[in-house]
Structure 1
Amino acid sequence: MNTLRVNGVTVARGAGPVIRDVSLELVPGRITALVGPNGAGKTSLLEAISGVLPIASGSVHIGPHDLTRQSRVGRFRRGLAHIEQGRAVFGGLTVLENLRLTARTGEQVDQVLALFPELAKRADSPAALLSGGEQQMVVLARAFAANPAFLLIDEMSLGLAPVVFTRLLPVVSRFAAEGAAILLVEQFTHLALDIAQDAVVVSSGRVTHQGPAPDLLASPATLHTAYLGESR
């Protein structure tokens, strides 16, 4: 079973490091919630793992394969997908055409449309005409259609109504249950921890806590201390 391993990664952005010596592991079938205060470096870490940002030091591996110097496309071919903040749909393409960009087979398209019945009803509609929630579903469905082994999700709830976001959480859980390893960054910390098995807290660019997500969720004092960066 291949895992994704982040080993001592440091990322520089602008004046200096925004991520310092971070290590974590993503295991197939499990969701890891990456939490921390605003400006902690969570988005930069995801971008470094997926290849959007270069890594100053450290390494990223999937199984025996060193991805540290590979391009984002190369990492995607190894099974690593990244849903970035915002809704990056191709507005001039229909919902179905958006999904076909990443799906390898028609069966994969059918499978994700079954997960998102709202999109099945709008399959022939240009993505630009969808609501914000529907566009976010397209982004998520497009990532699922690629059937990645490892999925990074950055602020899925951004710009969504709470009812839409809570509708998507079980879909993420189901995707993990089918074997994917997921790293989830989410502003609604307690909702992220509620569906995760593992938790990593980042503060000021450093990991301040790692452990089972249920334990962190059940201990507000521990979560508060971890956010402040006072615990390792």
Structure 2
Amino acid sequence: MNALRVTGLTVTRGAGPVISDVDLNLEPGRITALVGPNGAGKTSLLEAVSGVVPVAAGSVHIGSTDITKHSRVARSRLGLAHIEQGRAVFAGLTVLENLRLTARTRDRVDEVLELFPELDKRRDSPTALLSGGEQQMVVLARAFAARPSFLLIDEMSLGLAPVVFTRLLPVVTRFAEDGAAILLVEQFTQLALGVAQDALVVSSGRVTFSGESRALLDSPEKLHSAYLG
């Protein structure tokens, strides 16, 4: 399976760059935790990779295909999905109707509902009536139902209680075990590093650490130093 490769990526907003000269590889079956202080440019990096914002310099490849100038829709067709901050559910649709928007088969919907038993119980409920945690599950389940090869997740825990976020992490791990490459941006740094194999620390728009996540978990001093840039 192809990998996603980011080389020398720079993103500018307003007067100057918010991300400068970032290199990143997303390998099939592996989770990369993207962490760093608030305002470091993590969201801008994900948006550039998925095509939400243009790239000022550098390139993005899936395998040998240069997708740097591809539209977001074109990148999606190549297997790249991006779960943005917040809960982007279709509130007027039921849980099942939300999942059918991306699932190609009924069997796939059933498989996803097995991962989210809470949603299976609410399958005919309008998503507007679900709790915040359940709505976040719908967002994840909808992405999983599409079977993307590459999944970018931006602050999955936003607005959720830690116990709910902890409940969702094994689902992300299982998705990676099925072969997807995942880039996980998270405010709960230790939890994110705990499920990831690889880590990237971004501070002030630049990469200050790239390597195995275990290296940061085993050395709080190294993690602290990377956050300071």
- The normalised TM-score by structure 2 is 0.99
Instruction: Tell me, yes or no, if structure 1 residue 43 matches structure 2 residue 43.
Output: yes
Aligned residue in 2 for 1:214: 214
Aligned residue in 1 for 2:155: 155
CA distance in 1, matches of 2:56, 2:105: 37
Shift in Å, 1:200 = 0.5
Q: Deviations over 1:7-38 (max 9, x none)?
A: 10100112211000101100000000001100
Two-structure CA RMSD over aligned residues (Å): 0.6
Q: What amino acid maps onto 2:185 in structure 1?
A: V
Aligned residue in 2 for 1:185: 185
Structure 1 residues 114-193: aligned runs within 5 Å: 114-193=114-193
Shift in Å, 1:162 = 1.2
Instruction: Tell me, yes or no, if structure 1 residue 72 matches structure 2 residue 40.
Output: no
Shift in Å, 1:6 = 0.4
CA distance in 2, matches of 1:196, 1:151: 13
Aligned residue in 1 for 2:3: 3
For structure 1, list consecutive stretches of 5 or more residues without a partner in the other structure: none
Shift in Å, 1:106 = 1.1
Aligned residue in 1 for 2:86: 86
CA distance in 2, matches of 1:7, 1:108: 34
Q: How many residues align?
A: 229
Q: Any idea what SS the aligned residue of 2:147 has?
A: coil
- Which segments of structure 1 move beyond 3 Å, counting only runs of 4 or more? none
CA distance in 1, matches of 2:90, 2:125: 12
Q: What amino acid maps onto 1:6 in structure 2?
A: V
Shift in Å, 1:182 = 0.3
Aligned residue in 1 for 2:18: 18
CA distance in 1, matches of 2:88, 2:14: 25
Shift in Å, 1:198 = 0.2
Shift in Å, 1:214 = 0.8
* Same amino acid, percent of matched pairs: 79
Shift in Å, 1:97 = 0.5
Q: Deviations over 1:95-126 (max 9, x none)?
A: 00100111111111111100000001111111
Q: What amino acid maps onto 2:55 in structure 1?
A: I
Q: Deviations over 1:46-69 (max 9, x none)?
A: 000000010011110000111101
CA distance in 2, matches of 1:42, 1:24: 12
Q: Any idea what SS the aligned residue of 1:124 has?
A: coil
CA distance in 2, matches of 1:153, 1:217: 21
CA distance in 1, matches of 2:73, 2:109: 21
Q: What amino acid maps onto 2:19 in structure 1?
A: I
Q: What amino acid maps onto 1:225 in structure 2?
A: S
Q: Any idea what SS the aligned residue of 1:158 has?
A: coil
CA distance in 2, matches of 1:218, 1:104: 42
Q: What amino acid maps onto 1:116 in structure 2?
A: F
Shift in Å, 1:161 = 1.2
